Chain A
Amino acid sequence: MGNIKMTKISTDVLVIGGGIAGVFAAVNAARQGLRVVMVDKGKVGLSGMTIWADTFCIFDEAAGHRPEDWHEAVSVNGDYINNRDYLDMMITDSAARWQDLLEWGAIGTDKFGKALRKQIRACKIETVERTMLTDLLIEEGQVAGAIGFSIDQPDCIALAAKAVVMCAGAGGYRPHGFPISNMTFDGDGMAYRAGLPISGKEFSDPHNTNAAYPGYSWGIGDIKWGPGIVKTGPPQRPKPGHLRGLSLDPYYQAHEGKAPIVMNPPMGGPQGPYPGFKYKADHPGPQVMLGGGATGMSVHKAEGIVPADENCGTALPGLFAAGDALSSMLCGGRYSGIGFSFAGSAVQGFRAGKAAADYASQTLLIDITESKITPLKEKIFEPLQRSQGFTSAWTTQMLQAAMFPYYILYIKKEDRLLGALANITFLSEHCAPRLFAKDLHELRSVHETRNMILNAEMKLRASIFRKESRGMHYREDYPARDDDQFLAWVHVHKGEDGAMQVKKVPVPENWRPSADVSYEERYVHRFPGEMEYLKKIGQI
């Protein structure tokens, strides 16, 4: 460890992750006159899922949008486990955040990341890039900063901060399609290790892609930069047989033996083909669907750190979270409408930045003790000391093999989930501690792989626990909603003995659907085998 440098940085507010949530959090914290540092594994403003964004949904009163319509649409679509407070936040703030992006010059350009970076510089926000943070630092029961390493030189980086905003996004298991490969649930990993509850893990997002263009998702693919970000309209209440948001239909078909499933080639995004668009000519006709390119990712805004209030606070004093790192349950169990993800992250980031600044203004910087830093530093760099063991690349492949098949996270059943869990437990207990890294690039992969394995365990345990079907969580063995038991969120946290604990937390009484409304009317979307199952157990 002698050749590893130690860099210490102090700030008022630390923002972890430089996607759209992080950018808005940092900008708003800086606007309060505080010193702000942003840390990103790659580059701020060009980070996480933000680089794939193309739509922004705003609440537009002038266009006749009504809050009650939005609530109705999202609740019905999300199977009533959406968080209405966070939808109110979006209704209140989304138009203002769109206006910010317009003023920053981020709209109508194929290089909106550049505009975001310009704004970061204009607000005099310091950036620490190509740096992966691995652990939160906690002193006296409150967050005191975070620690990690540079991927460019052997340098351990400890940041002391009065408040921290977690904007590290969600993740996938390095999927082949809808490539979100730099997203590895790092924020959830850090928060879980710090003892915080994590939720929303059982709801799977498909984001289907095709064989010819694995990078293609929603018709945007690798020409997505053409239209830039476009404004989208209100969420629609789903009609029977027609679903807004993403669907499990291809998985049902595959499960019936109707594979391969095909999908049409990319069409250039919501605005139609982009000038220069040539894929149609290259690959005419439908292509074989790969299934969920984003395998491992949850419904946007579902998985993440459990909020402790209506303003992006968490159970750890001084720690705030926003965007896909926060289990805001903005959409509930199923994605609500095009543009909810990007707009939701912007809105939450802005609020979290203010809340963190308010907290930091009333807090003194806590000295981070050497006794906290030294063991973490050793743990971070320990894979570099080992010359044998398991590679992160191979371990990630084994993780993919355990988690990618459609019959694990999409069409679920207890025996298969338990089988996958046995595999993941082995990777967690046997392989993760023996991962080795030849260089700092591989060290990043090692820590990412560990976060992916931890997340896989959360997803499987949450899926086993929720013995019903709801939103994008479909259990073949329990193919209907069970309102008596599961109008609730499933929380996982690290128990005192280090083992993962699972529990449910009921949705507030006044957010539940009226018992006077029939089951079929309450729940518009039908799962395969649902009505037969309800008849069998005497519910209808």
Chain B
Amino acid sequence: MTIEKIEGCNGCKACFDVCPMDVIRMNEESGLAEIRYPQDCQVCNLCVVFCPVDAITLNKEKYRPLMTAWG
């Protein structure tokens, strides 16, 4: 599972303020929350629980980057 989308954000920053992992940042131009580092989502659901307008969706897929031979 991972964070999938933010739709209908009102820019209140609640999700940014509760994310322990720095997955969400506020877009400087739009003033709205955006998913910046989805690979770090640990599915704690805090953003979903604290969002006052139910804008955040988690999906059932865990973000798993492919393993490669070198980095």
Contact = CB atoms under 8 A, between A and B. Distances in A.
Interface of A: 41-43, 46-48, 51-52, 110-111, 113-114, 130, 151, 176, 179-182, 212-215, 222, 224-225, 390-391, 393-395, 397-398, 401, 441, 444-445
B44 to A, nearest CB: 5
B44 A179 contact: yes
Contacts of B60: 212-213
B42 A179 contact: yes
B49 A225 contact: yes
A114 B14 CA distance: 11
**B18, B44, B49, B68 interface centre (most CB from chain A within 10 Å):** B44
8 contacts: A46-B46, A111-B50, A113-B46, A114-B50, A179-B42, A181-B21, A222-B43, A444-B22
Query: What 3 pairs across the A-B complex have the smallest Cβ distances?
Result: A394-B71, A42-B20, A179-B42
A51 B20 contact: yes
Given A222-B44, A393-B39, 15 more contacts: A42-B21, A48-B20, A151-B22, A176-B62, A179-B43, A180-B42, A182-B42, A213-B1, A214-B1, A222-B45, A391-B71, A393-B65, A394-B70, A397-B65, A444-B22
B49 A110 contact: yes
Contact of A395 (B44, B65, B71): B71
B44 A130 contact: no
A324 to B, nearest CB: 15
A180 B71 CA distance: 24
Interface in B36-71: 36-37, 39-40, 42-46, 49-50, 58, 60, 62, 64-65, 67-68, 70-71
A182 B19 CA distance: 10
A176 B71 CA distance: 20
A222 B58 contact: yes
B66 to A, nearest CB: 9
A130 B26 CA distance: 14
A398 B71 CA distance: 10
Contacts of A215: 1, 42-43
B65 to A, nearest CB: 6
B20 A43 contact: yes
A271 to B, nearest CB: 17
A526 to B, nearest CB: 35
A161 to B, nearest CB: 23
Contacts, number: 73
B22 to A, nearest CB: 6
Contacts of B20: 41-43, 46-48, 51, 182
Nearest to B49: A225
Contact of B21 (A114, A182, A390, A391): A182
A441 B42 CA distance: 15
B1 A222 contact: yes
A473 to B, nearest CB: 27
Contacts of B36: 441
A445 B37 CA distance: 12
A392 to B, nearest CB: 9
B7 interface: no
Contacts of A42: 19-22
Contacts of A176: 62, 64
A227 B43 CA distance: 18
B68 A51 contact: no
A213 B61 CA distance: 9
A39 B21 CA distance: 15
Contacts of A224: 45
B62 A225 contact: no
A367 to B, nearest CB: 33
A397 B67 contact: yes
Given A51-B46, A111-B50, A222-B1, A214 B62 contact: yes
Contacts of A43: 17-20
Contact of A52 (B18, B40, B44): B44
Contacts of A445: 40
Contacts of A398: 71
Contacts of A182: 20-21, 42
Contacts of A151: 22
Nearest to A442: B37
A213 B59 CA distance: 10
B51 to A, nearest CB: 12
Contacts of B71: 390-391, 393-395, 398
A181 to B, nearest CB: 4
Interface in B17-34: 17-22
A215 B63 CA distance: 12
Contact of A441 (B17, B37, B67): B37
